Structure 1
Amino acid sequence: MKSRGGAADGGGTSTDTSAGVPLGGSPAASTLTEEPAAPARTVVRRAGAVRWYGLALAALALVLVCGLSLSVGARSIPFATVWEVLVRGGGGEEAFVVRELRVPRTAIGLLAGAALGLAGALMQGLTRNPLADPGLLGVNNGASAAVVTAIAFLGVDSPIGYVWFALLGAAVAYAVVYLLGSSGRASTPERMVLAGAAINAMLIAYVSAVILSDLSVFDEFRFWAVGSLAGRDTDVVVQVGPLILIGVVAALGLARPLNALALGEETGRALGAHTERTRLTGAVAVALLCGGATAAAGPIAFVGLAVPHLVRMVTGPDQRWVMAYSLLLAPVLLLGADVLGRFLVSPGELEAGIVTAFFGAPLFILLSRRRRIAAL
């Protein structure tokens, strides 16, 4: 005969069905359901520690490549001499090379690389397309069209003059793409990409028509269009630096909303993300980042596409980590390409934009074939 609790008389342990815990049972039995949580927390901690260690290694790599950018080239200068010039000043030919030529060049590489990498991560998050980059939405060609116009019709012939036209052209192109992509009921990633493709086609046609009709314009434009860190001075850094830094701050502030929107717009709104505000702020940040980088160094390909994609293979889809890693590793790639270009055709130089495309694109294709493109 069974008792009212459901256990046999004089036999097993009675059970409180509302709690699911044996009455009078051992403490170990009552905690069986809690044990799997401890290994899960350990795995999360270890993953976070690995990401922090990786971020520290990325920062170390950035410091190393900056040192190489300041010390190697047609005339190699020892690290000790570079440090002496930077800390204590001094005169002489080596001091001139370091301060007047290589410091602005390295600073442009840092700014442009960080801007391109972060803009690529932001654009991929906004469009939910892992193959999005600054060239996809017309930013690079908008800058190119503005520079061609300045050369052909306004007589501008210096990097300082190119900066503001390139920045304006990139901003206008992206604004047009954003307006076209958001017209109607609501903006969607697909509409943005289609609008970008249409604007890109128009801008390419315009640039080709202008440079092919005037060889002098072509000769002037091609040195900027190839993408290079050489020939820029501190005035370029002063002009584009604040704009890029504003774009960096705006982009980093969008990491959490992008994580929420990656779950879907309805879920993102339920989590507190404002869809239109996020996209509008992202558009402003992309215009500042891509416009500043393209204005300073020219339309450099591959950096904004490849770095966030490769980073995502390591960090996963969390935009906070993707942006942090891209901010450090994209300048490593750009400055590394610039340093490598100084050796490939020595005593001459190969522009950084050529190196990133020539070596980076095959590597990206190889990685894409060996591994699936990381989902956002």
Structure 2
Amino acid sequence: MILARATSLRPAPLHGKSRGVRLLSLAGLVVALAALCMLSVAIGTREVAWSDIAAALNGQVDSVGQAAVAVRIPRTVLAVLAGAALGLAGAIMQGVTRNPLADPGILGVNMGASLAVVVGIVWFGIASAHAYIFTAIVGAGLAAAFVYVIGSLGRGGATPLKLALAGAATSVAFSSLVIAVVLPRSDIAGGIRSWQVGGVGGATFDGILNGLPFLAAGFVISLLSARKLNSLALGDDLAAGLGENVAAARAVSSFGAILLCGATTAICGPIGFVGLVVPHLCRLLVGVDHRWLLPFSALGGACLLVAADVVGRIVARPSEIDVGIVTAFVGAPVFIWMIRRQRVHDL
């Protein structure tokens, strides 16, 4: 009886999207990402000729233009990886919590990673890239657990509204603690404040390689969690009736998202709203099946962050606007719209 009911309640694709339409949409996202990467390499604060771009892509740095392009290449790679990680982590968190407002920034996970890194630098003197990443992952995990426990208190358990409120309050508290920890250290305050804005400027392949094993592990764990998230979407009782270990499914999926958030925050700083906006847009394309939603969210997040980085270079020439500010301008209105379109008791 339970199995029959569970089978009938399996999420159906939105708008009856066929496999062919989904594959076509996926190919379109790949093409869009490739085009955005080319724009990211070609556009910057300095105008560069196409000949210099071609030469720089072949490893030449004989002119100022070629050197400028050579700097943009690792920046573009980092934007792709960070955007994919945040988009995928947002989709995972929404699936684990069944919360349409879940996002690494809104749930306080990014700020937990930031606080851990700042405390590690100021109080314990950590200096290596791997130490930053380990510390950020631990901080992200503790913050996620803290928000979930606080949001679970009281009647009704961990409702979407309670989780969003607990996450927002935690983010504000952690942000204040970061300021309090950094304030006495004027020698490093400027660098930490710049890192806290969130950006991909100054990226190097060495820095990317330091975080790549953690990101790769996070991507693999998260993508392999798709079937578990489909089961969790049916509700805990039905998922258990289907033979799913609900606690283990949540723990494994969350661990993948925490790896992605922690590593990305350690390298780029806290970047918000990517994990909120992208999964919602991707659901319009592919529905609620996580086997499709997760790869689409990764590609969509990469597209959004690369596009935001390009916009940040254009609108403030000859200066730049960090990508974290651009995503906030895009994500904040979407967040407000999502709140307004649903009645409070439905959240």
**TM-score range with shorter-chain normalisation?**
0.7 to 0.9
* Residues 77-113 of structure 1: per-residue CA shift (max 9 Å, x gap): 3455434432x433313333333x1121111101110
The 5-angstrom pairing of residues 335-346 of structure 1 reads: 335-346=306-317
Task: Output the CA distance in 2 between the equivalents of 1:72 and 1:215.
Answer: 35
Give the conservation status (yes or no) of the 8 Å contact 1:69–1:106.
yes
* Residues 184-224 of structure 1: per-residue CA shift (max 9 Å, x gap): xxx96668767756754553342232234554443232100
Task: Output the CA distance in 2 between the equivalents of 1:320 and 1:302.
Answer: 22
| Equivalent residue, structure 1, for 2:98 | 128
| Equivalent residue, structure 1, for 2:194 | 223
Shift of 1:254: 1.0
Identity %: 43
* Residues 252-281 of structure 1: per-residue CA shift (max 9 Å, x gap): 111111112211112112223221111110
Shift of 1:52: 1.5
Give the conservation status (yes or no) of the 8 Å contact 1:151–1:217.
no
Shift of 1:55: 1.0
- Aligned pair in 2 of structure 1 residues 96, 154: CA closer, same or farther (>3 Å)? farther
| Equivalent residue, structure 2, for 1:250 | 221
Give the match's secondary structure for 1:249.
Answer: helix
| Equivalent residue, structure 1, for 2:234 | 263
1:141 has 2:111 as partner: yes
- Aligned pair in 2 of structure 1 residues 204, 341: CA closer, same or farther (>3 Å)? closer
The 5-angstrom pairing of residues 198-217 of structure 1 reads: 199-200=170-171, 202-217=173-188
Task: Output the CA distance in 1 between the equivalents of 2:159 and 2:222.
Answer: 18
Give the conservation status (yes or no) of the 8 Å contact 1:151–1:157.
yes
| Equivalent residue, structure 2, for 1:35 | none
| Equivalent residue, structure 1, for 2:249 | 278
| Equivalent residue, structure 1, for 2:267 | 296
Task: Output the CA distance in 2 between the equivalents of 1:366 and 1:182.
Answer: 25
Shift of 1:292: 1.1
Aligned letter for 1:141? M
Aligned letter for 1:119? A
Give the match's secondary structure for 2:20.
Answer: helix
Task: Output the CA distance in 2 between the equivalents of 1:106 and 1:133.
Answer: 23
Task: Output the CA distance in 2 between the equivalents of 1:333 and 1:74.
Answer: 20
Aligned letter for 1:271? L
Give the conservation status (yes or no) of the 8 Å contact 2:274–2:304.
yes
Please, what TM-score do these two structures have when normalized by structure 2?
A: 0.82
1:96 has 2:59 as partner: no
Please, what TM-score do these two structures have when normalized by structure 1?
A: 0.76
Select the residue among 1, 12, 34 that pairs with 1:63: 34
Give the conservation status (yes or no) of the 8 Å contact 1:160–1:236.
no
- Aligned pair in 2 of structure 1 residues 120, 58: CA closer, same or farther (>3 Å)? same
CA RMSD of aligned residues (A): 3.2
Unpaired runs of at least 5, structure 2: 1-14
Task: Output the CA distance in 2 between the equivalents of 1:209 and 1:272.
Answer: 48
- Aligned pair in 2 of structure 1 residues 108, 97: CA closer, same or farther (>3 Å)? same
Task: Output the CA distance in 2 between the equivalents of 1:85 and 1:203.
Answer: 42
- Aligned pair in 2 of structure 1 residues 57, 79: CA closer, same or farther (>3 Å)? farther
Unpaired runs of at least 5, structure 1: 1-42
Please say which structure displays the higher CA radius of gyration.
1
Which stretch of the first structure deviates more once superposed, 132-141 or 50-59?
A: 132-141
Shift of 1:302: 1.0
Structure with higher RCO (Cα < 8 A, 6+ apart): 2
Task: Output the CA distance in 2 between the equivalents of 1:369 and 1:59.
Answer: 32
Task: Output the CA distance in 2 between the equivalents of 1:149 and 1:370.
Answer: 39
1:82 has 2:53 as partner: yes
Task: Output the CA distance in 2 between the equivalents of 1:164 and 1:178.
Answer: 21
* Residues 301-349 of structure 1: per-residue CA shift (max 9 Å, x gap): 1111111112113322211222121111111111111111111110111
| Equivalent residue, structure 2, for 1:37 | none
- Aligned pair in 2 of structure 1 residues 303, 179: CA closer, same or farther (>3 Å)? same
Shift of 1:285: 0.5
The 5-angstrom pairing of residues 104-115 of structure 1 reads: 104-115=74-85
Select the residue among 235, 239, 254 that pairs with 2:210: 239
